[in-house]
C-alpha cells in the first residue's frame, strides 16, 4: 500500500507538471502567433500615412518636364530629402535621364531582367519601389529607393494549397512532436530530479506525523537543505520524545512518592485518632499532648505538600507577582546559613561562607529569593551524609554570582539534565526537615521568574556545584 501511494503521489506531481508544461507551450504558441500577426498589422498601419508604395505612386505629381526631359520639382526634392530617399528616372530604353541623391552603386542603364531583380530584391542597400510617369505618348519609369533601416522588403514564396494541407496535417504532427519531446524531456528531468525527491520528502513527513522518528536521508540535489532540515527535525523530535518519556516516568515516580508521603502521615493521623476516640481507654495528659502533637505535625506536613504543589502551579502560570527591591544578597545568605546551622539537625554540619564584599546588592524579591537559596542549601545537606562540606560563595563582576559547592555523592550524568524535574527529596516524614520533593523545582522557577540563570555541574562521588547568576 505504501509503495502504491508513493507511485500515485509521484505520478500526480509529474502529471501536474506535464499538464502545466503543455498548457504553457500552447499559450506561448498562441501569443507568438498573435504577436507576429499584430506586429505585421501594426507595421502595415504605420505605413498607411506614408507607405513606400503609396509614396512612390503619388510621387508622379512632383515630376515635370522641360524640353521633353523629366525632372523633379522643388517640392518633390524636399519630399525626397525629408524622407531620406533617392530617385532615378529612366526612359523606355532603360537609360537614366534624371536622378536626385542617387547612390553611386546604382547603375545608369538597365537590362529588363535588372528591373525585375531590383523590384523584387534590392539595390545599393535600399529597398526600391517603381512607378511610371507618362508624357507626350512616352513612358518614363522612376525608381525610388528607401534605406534598409526604414524599409525592409522580403519576398515570400509559397503554395496556398500546401498551406492548407500543412495546417490540416503536418502542422498538427509538428506540434504533437514538439509536445511529445517536451513531455518526455520534462518527465526525465522533472520526474527524476524533482518529483522523486519530493515524493521522498512527503513520505518522510508522513512518517514523522505518525510518530516514527527513525528516518535519515542523504542530503543531496536541489532539495539538499530540505533533507538537512528533515533530518534535523527527525533528530529533534526523537530527542523530545525520549525526554517526554523520561519526564513522564519521573512524574509517575514523583506522584507515586507524593501519594506514599501523603498516605504515611494520614495513616499516623488515622491511627492516633482511632486510639484517642477509644472510650474504654483513659489517656493521661502527657499522652494526649503527645498524640495531638503527632497528629498536628502530620497534618502540617500534608498542608505543606498541598501548598508547595499550589505554589509551583502559580509560579508556572506567573500568578505570583514579584515584589522586587534592592537588597544585600551577602547579608541574606549569611542569615540563611546562620538559620540552618541553628537547626538542631544541622548544627554540626560543615558549611563555609566566602564573600568578597559585605554589601553585594541585587534587585530581587527578598522572600522568594530567600526560599530559593534555602531550598538549594538544604538539598545539599539532606541528600548527603553528615561529613559533607558545603562551600557557599558570592562575588560581583558585571552581575552577581552565587556558588554552592559540595563534596558529596554527586548526581549521575544521565540525571543531570532532569535535576529540576526529578524532584530530589527525602521520603522519611519523621525527619526534622520534611520536604514536599518540590524544593529544586521551586528554586528553578523562582530564579527563572527573576530573569536570572542557574547552572548545575556534578560528578558522581565527587560532588555538585550550583551557580546562580543574578
Q: What is the dihedral of CA 39, 43, 44, 49, to 10 degrees?
A: 150
CATH number of the 213-320 domain = 1.10.287.130
Question: Picking from 94-103, 304-313, 395-404, which range would have the lowest pLDDT averaged per residue?
Answer: 304-313
- Is pLDDT at 45 greater than 80 in this prediction? no
pLDDT digits (tens, 9 = 90+) for 160-181: 666 556 555 666 776 777 777 7
| pLDDT at residue 425 tops 60 | no
Q: Could you tell me the pLDDT band of residue 292, with boundaries at 50, 70 and 90?
A: confident
* CATH classification number, 52-147, choose in 2.60.200, 1.10.10, 3.30.450, 3.40.50: 3.30.450
* Residue with more model confidence, 313 or 411: 411
Report the distance separating Cα 437 and Cα 426, nearest Å: 7
Q: Among residues 378, 363, 261, 258, which one has the least CA distance to residue 312?
A: 258
pLDDT of residue 12: 56
Check residue 432 and give its pLDDT: 41
pLDDT at 343 over 80: yes
- pLDDT value of residue 165: 60
Confidence at 435, pLDDT banded by 50, 70, 90: low
406 within 8 A of 463, measured Cβ to Cβ: yes
Q: Say how far apart CA 121 and CA 112 lie, in whole Å.
A: 14
Pairwise CA distance, residues 228 & 216, whole Å: 9
Helix axes 366-382, 329-341, angle to 10 degrees: 40
pLDDT recorded at residue 192:
61
Which is nearest to 377 in space by CA: 395, 399, 352, 401?
352
Chain-centroid distance of CA 240 in Å reads 21
Q: Which residues does 204 contact at the CB level (< 8 Å), separation at least 6?
A: 215, 217, 230, 234
Cα 403 from Cα 324, distance rounded (Å): 22
Partners of 128 in the β-ladder: 145
Q: What's the whole-number mean pLDDT along residues 36-59?
A: 65
Confidence (pLDDT) at 405: 94
Instruction: Tell which CATH architecture fits domain 322-469.
Output: 2-Layer Sandwich (3.30)
CA–CA–CA angle 364, 369, 375 (5° rounding): 165
Residue 442: other Cβ atoms inside 10 A: 20
At residue 49 the predicted structure's pLDDT band, cuts being 50, 70 and 90, is very low
pLDDT digits (tens, 9 = 90+) for 177-200: 777 777 776 666 666 666 677 778
Q: Which of 102-111, 130-139, 232-241, 263-272 has the lowest mean pLDDT?
A: 263-272
Q: Average pLDDT of 213-240?
A: 84
Domain spans in the chain, listed from the N-terminal domain onward: 2-49+157-206, 52-147, 213-320, 322-469
**pLDDT at residue number 268:** 80
Q: What is the pLDDT of residue 163?
A: 58
Which pLDDT value is given to residue 211? 83
CA–CA–CA angle 368, 374, 380 (5° rounding):
145
Q: Say how many C-beta atoms besides its own lie within 10 A of residue 128's C-beta.
A: 24
Mean residue pLDDT of the chain comes to 79
Q: How confident is the model at residue 457 (pLDDT cuts 50, 70, 90)?
A: very high
Residue 41 has pLDDT above 70, yes or no: no
What pLDDT, on a 0 to 100 scale, did the predictor assign at position 254?
Answer: 67
Distance between CA atoms of 334 and 351, rounded to whole angstroms? 11
Q: What is the pLDDT of residue 174?
A: 67
CB 431 within 8 A of CB 393: no
pTM: predicted TM-score of the whole model, two decimal places: 0.44
pLDDT value of residue 2: 46
Question: 260: exposed, middle or buried (C-beta count within 10 Å: 0-12, 13-18, 19+)?
Answer: exposed
Q: Render pLDDT for 346-355 as a digit per residue (tens, 0 to 9).
A: 888 889 999 9
- At 254-270, the pLDDT tens digits run 677 677 667 777 888 88
311 versus 50: the higher-pLDDT residue is 311
What are the pLDDT digits (tens) for 361-405? 999 999 889 988 988 998 888 888 888 999 999 999 889 999 999
Contact 370, 323 (CB under 8 A): no
Question: Locate cell 527535525: which residue?
Answer: 233
Per residue in 136-158, pLDDT (tens digit) is 888 999 999 998 878 877 766 66
Percentage of residues of the chain with pLDDT beyond 70: 78
Contact of 216 with 234, CB cutoff 8 Å: yes
Phi, psi of 361 (to 5 degrees): -105, 150
CB-based burial label for 415 (10 Å; 0-12, 13-18, 19+): middle
Residue 59 has pLDDT above 70, yes or no: yes
Q: Which residues contact 219 (CB under 8 A, 6 or more apart)?
A: 227, 228, 231
Amino acid at each position: 500500500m505504501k509503495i502504491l501511494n508513493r507511485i500515485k503521489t509521484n505520478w500526480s506531481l509529474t502529471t501536474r507538471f506535464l499538464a502545466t508544461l503543455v498548457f504553457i507551450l500552447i499559450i506561448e504558441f498562441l501569443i507568438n502567433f498573435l504577436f507576429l500577426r499584430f506586429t505585421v498589422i501594426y507595421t502595415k498601419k504605420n505605413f498607411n500615412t506614408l507607405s513606400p508604395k503609396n509614396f512612390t505612386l503619388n510621387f508622379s505629381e512632383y515630376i515635370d518636364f522641360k524640353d521633353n526631359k523629366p525632372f523633379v520639382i522643388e517640392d518633390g526634392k524636399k519630399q525626397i530629402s525629408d524622407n531620406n530617399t533617392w530617385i532615378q528616372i529612366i526612359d523606355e530604353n532603360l537609360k537614366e535621364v534624371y536622378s536626385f541623391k542617387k547612390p553611386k552603386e546604382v547603375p545608369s542603364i538597365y537590362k529588363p531582367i535588372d528591373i525585375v531583380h531590383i523590384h523584387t530584391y534590392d539595390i545599393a542597400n535600399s529597398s526600391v519601389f517603381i512607378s511610371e510617369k507618362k508624357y507626350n505618348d512616352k513612358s518614363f519609369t522612376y525608381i525610388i529607393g528607401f534605406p534598409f533601416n526604414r524599409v525592409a522588403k522580403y519576398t515570400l514564396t509559397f503554395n496556398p494549397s500546401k498551406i492548407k494541407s500543412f495546417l490540416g496535417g503536418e502542422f498538427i504532427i509538428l506540434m504533437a512532436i514538439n509536445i511529445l519531446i517536451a513531455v518526455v524531456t520534462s518527465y526525465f528531468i522533472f520526474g527524476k530530479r524533482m518529483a522523486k525527491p519530493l515524493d521522498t520528502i512527503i513520505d518522510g513527513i508522513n512518517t514523522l506525523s505518525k510518530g516514527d522518528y527513525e528516518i535519515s536521508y542523504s542530503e543531496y540535489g536541489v532539495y539538499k537543505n530540505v533533507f538537512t532540515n528533515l533530518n534535523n527535525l527527525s533528530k529533534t523530535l526523537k530527542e523530545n520524545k525520549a525526554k517526554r518519556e523520561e519526564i513522564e516516568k519521573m512524574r509517575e515516580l514523583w506522584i507515586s512518592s507524593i501519594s506514599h508521603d501523603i498516605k504515611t502521615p494520614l495513616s499516623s493521623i488515622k491511627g492516633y485518632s482511632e486510639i484517642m476516640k477509644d472510650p474504654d481507654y483513659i489517656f493521661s495528659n502527657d499522652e494526649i499532648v503527645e498524640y495531638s502533637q503527632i497528629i498536628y505535625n502530620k497534618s502540617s506536613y500534608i498542608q505543606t505538600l498541598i501548598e508547595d504543589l499550589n505554589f509551583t502551579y502559580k509560579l508556572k502560570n506567573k500568578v505570583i507577582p514579584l515584589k522586587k527591591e534592592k537588597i544585600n544578597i551577602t547579608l541574606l545568605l549569611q542569615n540563611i546559613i546562620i538559620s540552618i546551622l541553628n537547626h538542631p539537625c544541622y548544627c554540626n554540619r560543615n558549611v563555609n561562607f566566602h564573600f568578597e564584599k559585605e554589601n553585594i546588592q541585587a534587585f530581587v524579591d527578598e522572600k522568594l529569593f530567600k526560599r530559593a537559596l534555602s531550598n538549594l542549601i538544604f538539598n545539599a545537606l539532606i541528600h548527603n551524609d553528615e561529613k559533607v562540606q558545603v562551600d557557599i560563595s558570592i562575588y560581583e563582576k558585571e552581575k552577581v554570582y552565587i556558588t554552592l559547592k559540595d563534596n558529596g555523592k554527586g548526581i549521575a550524568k544521565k540525571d543531570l539534565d532532569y535535576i529540576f524535574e526529578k524532584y530530589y527529596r527525602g521520603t522519611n516524614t519523621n525527619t526534622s526537615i520534611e520536604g514536599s520533593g518540590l524544593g529544586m523545582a521551586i528554586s528553578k522557577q523562582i530564579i527563572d521568574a527573576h530573569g536570572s540563570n542557574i547552572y548545575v555541574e556534578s560528578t558522581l562521588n565527587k560532588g555538585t556545584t550550583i551557580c546562580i547568576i543574578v
